[in-house]
Amino acid sequence: MNRIALAALLLSLLLQVGGCSEPQAPIVKTDILVEPEPGNYLTGYWNESTPLMLTDVSVTLRPCDRNYKTHFMYPGIDLKVGDPCLVVAGHVENHGDKVLAIGMFARGYDESGLWVSETLDNDGIQGSIMFDIEPGQTREFLLHMNPSDEVRSIRVSGGGKDRLRGPNTPIPRERWQHTSVRYRL
């Protein structure tokens, strides 16, 4: 064992015995493209228009805050606390005229448009988060995704939670077809 590895091991043991935990891995901002861009409306599970505008968004690579089970991409290959997670964070605003009970999810795609990463959150429906949003209200969201070196873009979607349950289970590595659908008031 080289001296650096031995010193790191001893320092780690001393910190743990002394009541200190090991330092957390850093949060790293990524340059992964996110669609839609801020200022544009989200589309739903079926690519339908919604009154939800994405006001800001960022993607970071950081340690998982809890254990996550994979759903569609890699069943049985789960992430533990401290494992790397892709985290998509931002805000959405309801430009509609009624309260919406929405579900949000994100998918990561490789450079050829194949689905290679999924939302790991499980808030009522696997692979999504859910919340209510009043007309004119802005809400924060946080989506945890499995990391993949292949991710080149992330598509954030959100719509009525009843619309998240489709007749088909999504198939990993399916090609995402983009259509420009906008919500009209």
Q: 55 near 158, Cβ under 8 Å?
A: no
Q: 156 near 34, Cβ under 8 Å?
A: yes
For residue 75, give the nearest of 170, 165, 158, 174 by alpha carbon: 170
Burial tier of 164 (Cβ tally within 10 Å: 0-12, 13-18, 19+):
buried
Domain boundaries, the chain: 25-164
Residue 75: the pLDDT is: 61
For residue 163, give the nearest of 53, 72, 46 by alpha carbon: 46
At residue 63, φ and ψ (nearest 5 deg) are: -65, 140
CB count within 10 Å of CB 51 equals: 21
Residue 28: the pLDDT is: 84
pTM over 0.95: no
What is the per-residue pLDDT across 119-163, written as a single tens digit (0 to 9) for each? 999 887 778 899 999 999 999 999 999 998 899 999 999 987 654
Helices (H), the chain: 3-17
Residue 48: the pLDDT is: 87
> Is residue 136 left, alpha or beta, with left meaning phi > 0 and alpha meaning psi from -120 to 50?
left
- Secondary element (H or E) of residue 94: strand 84-94
Right CATH number for 25-164 from 2.40.128, 2.60.40, 2.20.25, 1.10.260?
2.60.40
Residue 18: the pLDDT is: 46
Residue 7: the pLDDT is: 37
Digitized pLDDT (tens) for each residue of the chain, 185 residues in all: 444 433 344 444 444 444 444 455 678 888 999 999 999 999 988 888 999 999 999 999 999 999 998 777 666 678 999 999 999 999 999 999 999 998 899 999 999 999 889 899 988 777 889 999 999 999 999 999 999 889 999 999 998 765 454 434 444 555 444 333 333 33
- Secondary element (H or E) of residue 132: strand 129-133
End-to-end CA distance of the chain: give it in Å, rounded. 66
